Amino acid sequence: MGILILILIGVLIAGTIYALARPKGAGPVFRIGNSPVSAVEQGPVNDGVSIFAGIGRLRIPLANSSILILSIAFPYPSNDRVFAEELAVKIGEFRAIASEYFSSLPSEKLHNLDEEAAKTEILRRYNTNLRLGKIQALYFNDLMIIE
């Protein structure tokens, strides 16, 4: 029984030393389950800026029976917790705005998709929907059309 207690104390001391030596703001060492990283949990890109990726991957049915696969991300000030909370609350609305925009495009525009025009329009719609801050830029990841 005494050896078990000594091992437990050793593990606690080693864990404490490891926790104190880790850099500030480091993410979890491991995750239990298959839970995705939350939007607000994204680490800082550089001083004062984090990336919001909480919208996730969208699968949008298009007018020509194709499917658009798209992930949208954007930077936001990491020290603005109120704005980060607003972003997290509006994830469903962001998904609906992007889905509505792309599903309403005519077939001929889909084949020659102007990515910059799409980003500009979706950014405008997102910012119209926000009250506590504004998004400055959008990034499209995984942009592909499956026919």
Predicted confidence (pLDDT) per residue in 34-55, tens digit: 444 444 445 555 668 889 999 9
The reported pLDDT for the residue numbered 112 is 83
The reported pLDDT for the residue numbered 143 is 85
Q: Which residue has the tokens 């959008």?
A: 138
Domain ranges of the chain: 44-146
Do residues 145 and 66 touch, judged by C-beta distance below 8 A?
yes
76-79 LR contacts (CB < 8 Å, sep 24+): 76/49, 76/50, 76/51, 76/52, 76/133, 76/135, 77/48, 77/49, 77/50, 77/133, 78/44, 78/48, 78/49, 78/50, 79/48
Q: Residue type at 72?
A: I
The values of phi and psi at residue 114, to 5°, are -90, 100
**Burial bucket for residue 102 (CB in 10 Å: 0-12, 13-18, 19+):** buried
The reported pLDDT for the residue numbered 41 is 45
The reported pLDDT for the residue numbered 66 is 84
* Neighbour count for residue 54 (Cβ, 10 Å): 21
Do residues 38 and 54 touch, judged by C-beta distance below 8 A?
yes
Q: In whole angstroms, how large is the CA radius of gyration of the chain? A: 21
**CATH code, residues 44-146:** 3.30.479.30
Intervals of the chain under pLDDT 70: 24-47
